[in-house]
Amino acid sequence: MRTTLNLDDDALLVARQVAARERISLGEAVSRLIRRGFASPAQAPLAREPLRGRFALLPRRDEVITPQQIRDLMEREGI
């Protein structure tokens, strides 16, 4: 069956990797990944914060992160 999907970039990357590794079409890779996900036993939802764009949000904290703290961290990390 032919259809059009809008996939997130990370999902497309995984599907392409599966397709290349298993030497199958991208559509077949997406189908297999969907079947695997559906066949897995249901798990409790992960307590993860949602993604915003390409970045995961950190859990809420009881402190305010200041620009100076970010600059200090970037300096320590060499960014």
- pLDDT tens string 26-63: 999 999 999 988 887 665 555 555 666 676 666 777 88
Element (H or E) spanning 52, and its range?
strand 51-52
Residue 78 has a pLDDT of 86
The Cα–Cα gap between 68 and 40 comes to 45
Look at residue 1 and tell me whether its pLDDT is greater than 90.
no
Residue 19 has a pLDDT of 93
pTM score: 0.51
- Residue 77 CA to chain centroid, in angstroms? 24
